Structures are given as C-alpha cells and as structure tokens.
C-alpha cells in the first residue's frame, strides 16, 4: 500500500561533506569569529559518526573541495523530500558550485533530481523548513521569491508558504522540526514573529517547543525503526539553558552534538547533512 507523506523523520541515508581547510578563513560568516579548522573537523566527525554508527544511516561522505569553503553545509545545496531532490541555486555566489557534487550524489541515489536553473532564483536549503505536511521557505538574504516558487513547483503535493527572514541568516537559524508537528523555535522576537507567521499560514496545527537560544532551536529530528524519536540537539556546554529544555523531552533518544566551531560560520546542526529516505520512496 502506498502512502504518501508518511513516516516523517524516517531516513535511511545521509549526505555529508568534509570540511575544507579554507573554511577557517574563507567561509562566509556573519560574525568575525576565528574558526579552528581542526576543532571543526573534530566536531563534524563526531556528527557524522552519530549518523552513521549510532543511528545506522547510510552516509554518503563527499570529499571537501577547497574552492568551496562552505561546502560542508550541504543542506543549502539541495532540498530532498520523498523521492525528489531539488538542487538549489544558493544565494551566495561563492557557493553555487557546491551543487555539482551534490547533484551527482543525489542522482547516484536514484532520486528524481530537479535543478533550479532560473538565474533569477536563489534558494538556500537552510531557508527551507519541511514540517512533514508543508514547506515554509524563509525569504532571506539567500533566498528569494523565485527560488521559493521553483521549490513549490518541485514539490507540488505540498503547500509552500513564504516567511520573511530578516534578522538571521536562514529560516532554520532559529527553528527546526523537533518531531512530527513539533516546531522548535528560538525565543527571540524575530523568531517568535516568524513562528506566528508560519502558524497563520498553515492549515495544520503544530506544537512548539521554545528554547532560549535561537541557534539551539536548530536540531535534527528522526524517527527511526527500533530507535523511535531521535533528536540531535545542542550540548549543555554550548547552550546550557536550551539544553535543559531538550532534556525534558520524554520518549526521545536525545543526542547532544557539539557544534561550537561550525556555529562561528553560521553552521547549525541541520546544515551539515541532507537526510534521505529511500525505503519509503515509490
């Protein structure tokens, strides 16, 4: 029996990419922070290890490309939902080339790959929040209306609503899904405002989990066989207050993942992987 839109959080594969040395100096960032590449790599390795070993996903590990300092943030290069993958056109020109490797990887997984060829369109995957029932696309410095339109064309089953993102890099810089129908949201005013917009735009009901730190609201939810609800979230070291909030979640397998270095270049947890479900695809 085929069921669409089933199994939110169910993934079989993950695509990640190694951190190039150029990340330290050249990666785009909204702050002036210095990045320790080694530390960042250590974090990233741990992250990938969680996906691969702890969660048992098939991890496609793409090699780093020094010419793309931000290439570790694979999320921005593609949006995958069901068996369709939309190759984006990243808003930062320096990142456009990242999509090539991504496209090859997705095609290798036999996904239905759609490319965003419109030169007026920009879209970063970090601006795309898929709730299981619909998409929210942040209109940010990286993503424009046209990009969102193309995304809507690529995923016709779902409503695609736009949300202005003014105060942060991406929509998912302050929110993410923490479970089916559960939106984890930062407590800043812009975050709350964006949430209000999202709820207004939606036909569906969501619960919200508010965390004190916007960036901590970016977590990774999975619902895996034998593991149930899994949440990769911030560490106590990084965001102690938000960590306490996550700690209270019941019936979750909680996996704190350190992200101290990548955050300096605006990298959040979701940024570093693309999650794919091949089993459910038709």
Partner 1 sequence: MTTETGADSEAKQPQDTNETEKGKTKAASDPASPQKQPEQLPAAVGHSTPARKEQEPQDDDQESHRSSISHLSKSPLRGVKKVKIMQCKVTLLDGSDYTLDVEKRAKGQMLFDKMCDHLNLLEKDYFGITYKDVDNQKNWLDPSKELKKQIRTGPWNFAFNVKFYPPDPTQLAEDITRYYLCLQLRDDVVSGRLPCSFATHTVLGSYTVQSELGDYDPEELASDYISELRFAPNQTKELEEKVMELHKTYKGMTPAEAEMHFLENAKKLSMYGVDLHHAKDSEGVEIMLGVCASGLLIYRDRLRINRFAWPKILKISYKRNNFYIKIRPGEFEQFESTIGFKLPNHRAAKRLWKVCVEHHTFFRLVSPEAPPKKFLTLGSKFRYSGRTQAQTRRASSQIIRPAPLFERSSSKRYNMSRSLDGAPITENHDTLMKDSSADGTAKIMAKGDIITTVTTEKKAEEEQAEQEDAAETPELAASTQQRHDTKDTEPPVEVAKHQTNISELKRSFLETGDSKPGLTEWEKRLSSSPSAHSPRADEAPMIEPLEPQDTKDEEPAGDERKQEEEEEEPKATEATGYLVKYMADSVVTEGATSSGPHGISLSTTMDDDVFIDGTLREAEEKTPDSQDEVSERSMVKISPRAVRQEVSQAITDKKGTLIILKDDTEGKNTAVPGEDTEDTGLLSAPKDKETVKDDIAVVVKAQMTNEVKTPSLKIDMKPDDMTLFKGMDSPKKAMASWISQEVKVETSEVTCVSAKEVREMKTCDGLQHKAQIFTFEQMAQSKKSKSDSTQNSLFESSAASLAVSTLGWVPSSQKTSAESEQKETEAAPAESAEPAGELSEGGTKEIPVVHTETKTITYEAAEVDSNGDADPGVLLSAQTITSETTSTTTTTHITKMVKGGISETRIEKRIVITGDADIDHDQALAQAIKEAKEQHPDMSVTKVVVHKETEITPEEGED
Residues annotated as catalytic are 170, 271
Binding mask 213-252 for partner 1 (x = CB under 8 A): --------------------------------x--xxxx-
**3-state secondary structure (DSSP) of residue 222:** strand
Q: In terms of Cα–Cα distance, which of 11, 2, 40 is closest to 23?
A: 40
Specify the residue, 119 or 189, whose C-beta has the smaller distance to partner 1.
Answer: 189
Cβ contact 276:111 at 8 Å: yes
Paired strand residues for 137: 128, 162
Name the minimum Å distance from CB 127 to partner 1: 13
Question: How far apart (Å, rounded) are the C-alpha atoms in residues 229 and 237?
Answer: 23
Q: In angstroms, what CA-CA distances link 189 with 28, 103, 222?
A: 25, 36, 28
Q: How many residues bind partner 1 (CB under 8 A)?
A: 50
254 lines the binding site for partner 1 (CB under 8 A):
no
Cβ contact 231:180 at 8 Å: no
Binding mask 143-172 for partner 1 (x = CB under 8 A): --x--xx--xx-xxxxxxxx----------
Cβ contact 6:280 at 8 Å: yes
Binding mask 80-119 for partner 1 (x = CB under 8 A): --xxx---------------------------x-------
Q: Is the dihedral of CA 35, 41, 209, 182 positive or negative?
A: positive
Specify the residue, 175 or 263, whose C-beta has the smaller distance to partner 1.
Answer: 175
Give residues 182-211 in contact with partner 1 (rule: CB under 8 A).
182-183, 193, 195-196, 198-210
Interface positions with partner 1 (CB under 8 A)? 1-5, 82-84, 112, 133-134, 137, 145, 148-149, 152-153, 155-162, 182-183, 193, 195-196, 198-210, 245, 248-251, 281-282
């Amino acid at each position: 029996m085929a069921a669409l839109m089933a199994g939110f959080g169910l993934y079989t594969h993950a695509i990640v990419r190694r951190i190039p040395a150029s990340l330290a100096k050249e990666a785009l960032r909204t702050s002036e922070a210095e990045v320790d590449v080694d530390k960042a790599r250590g974090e990233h390795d741990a992250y990938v290890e969680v996906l691969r070993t702890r969660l048992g996903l098939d991890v496609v590990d793409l090699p780093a490309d020094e010419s793309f300092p931000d290439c570790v943030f694979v999320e921005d290069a593609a949006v995958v939902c069901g068996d369709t993958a939309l190759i984006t056109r990243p808003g930062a020109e320096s990142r456009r080339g990242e999509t090539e490797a991504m496209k090859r990887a997705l095609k290798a997984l036999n996904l239905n790959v759609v490319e965003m060829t419109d030169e007026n369109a920009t879209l970063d995957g970090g601006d795309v929040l898929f709730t299981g029932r619909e998409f929210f696309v942040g209109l940010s410095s990286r993503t424009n209306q046209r990009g969102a339109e193309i995304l809507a064309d690529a995923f016709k089953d779902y409503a695609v609503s736009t949300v202005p993102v003014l105060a942060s890099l991406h929509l998912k810089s302050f929110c993410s899904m923490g479970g089916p129908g559960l939106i984890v949201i930062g407590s800043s005013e812009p975050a709350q405002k964006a949430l209000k917009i999202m709820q207004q735009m939606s036909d569906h009901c969501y619960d919200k989990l508010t965390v004190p730190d916007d960036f901590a609201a970016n977590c990774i939810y999975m619902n895996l066989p034998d593991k149930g609800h899994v949440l990769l979230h911030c560490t106590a070291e990084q965001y102690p207050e938000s960590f306490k909030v996550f700690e209270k979640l019941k019936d979750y397998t909680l996996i704190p993942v350190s992200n101290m270095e990548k955050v300096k270049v605006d990298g959040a947890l979701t940024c570093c992987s693309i999650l794919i479900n091949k089993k459910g695809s038709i």
